[in-house]
Amino acid sequence: MDPSERIPKDDWVDQDLLTRDEAAGRLVEEIAEVAKKIEAGEGDEVMERRLAGMKEALKHYRER
């Protein structure tokens, strides 16, 4: 892209960014869904690893 074609100001600040609380809330919901599937016998190793990763991420978001 030619520099003259760039917009005068980056608009990344206008994106819909999640707060830590919003991200944690979404993770809680996703963790519940994945855990339910695993408990129902629908999970595999990848899903269990994903669940563990989401739980670690949730700990990170809850740290203040």
DSSP string covering the chain, please? Answer: --GGGS-SS--GGGS-PPPHHHHHHHHHHHHHHHHHHHHTT---HHHHHHHHHHHHHHHHHH--
Q: How far apart are CA 47 and CA 44, in angstroms?
A: 5
> How much is the pTM?
0.71
Model pLDDT, residue 12 = 60
User: Could you tell me the pLDDT band of residue 6, with boundaries at 50, 70 and 90?
Assistant: low
Rounded to an integer, the average pLDDT of 21-34 is: 95
Which residue has tokens 């203040």? Answer: 64
Q: How far apart are CA 12 and CA 30, in angstroms?
A: 26
Mean of per-residue pLDDT scores for the chain: 85
Q: Is the pLDDT of residue 14 over 90?
A: no
